[in-house]
Amino acid sequence: MNIGEKLFNLRQKSGESLQQVADKVGVSKAHVWELEKGRSKNPSFELVRKLAAHYGVSIDVLTGEAAEPNEGDMQIERIHRGLDTLTDRDRQIVEQMIKNMQQTSSTTD
């Protein structure tokens, strides 16, 4: 599987549009589409790095050296990536919410 197919699969798993990905990594929607279709075959290392970071995968995933994560793993990574922008207080709130949800889940099983 080539890098374009990997990018397409990751975008589909993330539920994002071409425009959303383009906006996040700072390129045009057309450029993301060209990458996915294999029409732009030599992306810069910087763009590959940005795309890997955006999807929460290693560059090895994009190059085919490592397996693609499943949708659940990608969701967890997106949540995790967002935590570093929160204040300490907000991270504590999120942590407490997770603990409460885990307790609720374990009592209903």
Structure tokens at 32: 């993301």
CATH number of 3-69: 1.10.260.40
Measured on CA atoms in the order 5, 64, 21, 91, is the torsion positive or negative? positive
Q: Is the dihedral of CA 54, 59, 64, 68 positive or negative?
A: negative
Q: Which residue has the higher pLDDT, 41 or 61?
A: 61
Give the global pTM: 0.71
Segment 5-24, tens digit of pLDDT: 999 999 999 899 999 999 99
Q: Please, what is the end-to-end C-alpha distance for the chain in angstroms?
A: 40
Domain ranges across the chain:
3-69, 72-108
